[in-house]
Amino acid sequence: MKIIYSDQHYHQSPKLELAGGDLVPSFENPSRAEHVLERVKKIGLGEIITPDEFGLRPLLAVHDSGYIRFLQTAWQEWTDAGFKGEIIPLCWPAGQASDVLPRHIKGKVGYYAQGTDSNITDGTWIAALAAAQSALTGAALVCDAVKNGHKTGAFSLGRPPGHHAAKASYGGYSFLNNAAITAQYCRDQGIEKVAVLDVDFHHGNGTQDIFYDRDDVFFASIHGDPMDNFPYFWGHASECGTGQGERFNLNLPLGNGTQFQVWREALKNCLSAIDNFGAEVLIVSLGVDTFEEDPISAFKLKTPDYLVMGADIADLGIPTLFVMEGGYNVEALGVNMINVLVVHHF
């Protein structure tokens, strides 16, 4: 297995985030990737390579161009306006609000933000772009393998995560949707059917947003019930796609306290649906915040369960790209994430 890694992720190192009314150290920080990389090296999972450059075109294939410009320029606009702290939105459009993009940077931030959880810093764009390039490098490897009749896989060890980033909004620590970018890249390389499986505790609302009306990319997500969990406004079982995309979006929300036996049945349902779809490539949004000791999640999976999870996914038997998403118990993160990957003998 090829592991794609860039140390550019260190540029996204927010100081604090709002949680429960308090300012606390950010749960999404560089130590997450450090622990995973350390585990990769310790067990010799595979060859670690640096990402290639793919430019902005693959990003613009799924994200709004105005949104991309915002991410590129937000920090400069923020500091030009005289602000010294990290960028945290102050207000959002709601109800009968105008859909006109404000001129002032404070308004732009609120226009594109989903919440207050994702600070933009001076290095956010650098890190997010590097994570996207890492994921695209993995997608290129998988696409080449498909064309040559091989069953290969890759792991994009990048951060910040991406599955909450929608066509034109950021949130949940996500700025560029790496899973969606790579799924579209595979389509553009001639792969007719691509599936995205999201196993993160939190619903991949951004990925759903991007592919909700399409029948060429199947999206399946197992996640905490949005009645009780972030992102709250997306991820209900009734959300199954629209137009051509109807029945190509599968949400399996589960209650807080769910243990692996129940979670695994949901996984089997997703894998069966992906198999019936006829996916030629699988993109896995690999979050392990389903762990029983994760500080911001509510499932009860244990470390050995991730070995079974990985084996179940491997049994599908199609080329797979794993893209790093959540997991915020940093001490257990490396072991849990690599347990999913270690059975994939690519």
The per-residue pLDDT for 240 is: 98
To the query of whether residue 164 is one of the catalytic residues in this protein, the response is yes
Digit-coded pLDDT (tens) for 291-323: 999 999 999 999 999 999 999 999 999 999 999
Percentage of the residues of the chain whose pLDDT score is greater than 90: 92
Tens-digit pLDDT profile for residues 136-190:
999 999 999 898 887 789 999 999 999 999 999 999 999 999 999 999 999 999 9
* Mean pLDDT of the residues in the chain: 96
pLDDT tens profile 62-107:
999 999 999 999 999 999 999 999 999 999 888 878 889 999 999 9
Query: Can you read off the two tokens belonging to residue 4?
Result: 């794609």
Class of domain 2-16+26-59+123-341: alpha beta
The DSSP call for residue 170 is: B
The predicted structure's pLDDT at residue 147: 87
The angle, 0 to 180 degrees and rounded to 10, between the axes of the packed helices 105-112 and 65-80 is 140
Identify the pLDDT of residue 79.
98
pLDDT at position 345 over 80: no
Largest CA distance in the chain: 56
Q: What is the pLDDT of residue 20?
A: 87
Predicted confidence (pLDDT) at residue 344 exceeds the cutoff of 80 = no
Whole-angstrom Cα distance, residue 118 to residue 109? 11
State the pLDDT at residue 151: 76
Q: How far apart are CA 231 and CA 216, in angstroms?
A: 25
Position 346 pLDDT exceeds 70: no
Q: What's the predicted TM-score (pTM) here?
A: 0.97
Asked if 112 and 66 touch (Cβ cutoff 8 Å), the reply is: no
- Are 24 and 17 contacting, i.e. CB atoms less than 8 angstroms apart? yes
Candidates 35, 164, 202, 344; catalytic one: 164
Alpha-carbon 123 to chain mean position: 19
Average pLDDT over residues 110-133: 97
For 24-38, what is each residue's pLDDT tens digit?
Answer: 999 999 999 999 999
Mean per-residue pLDDT for 256-264? Answer: 98
Dihedrals φ, ψ of 171, to 5°?
170, 170
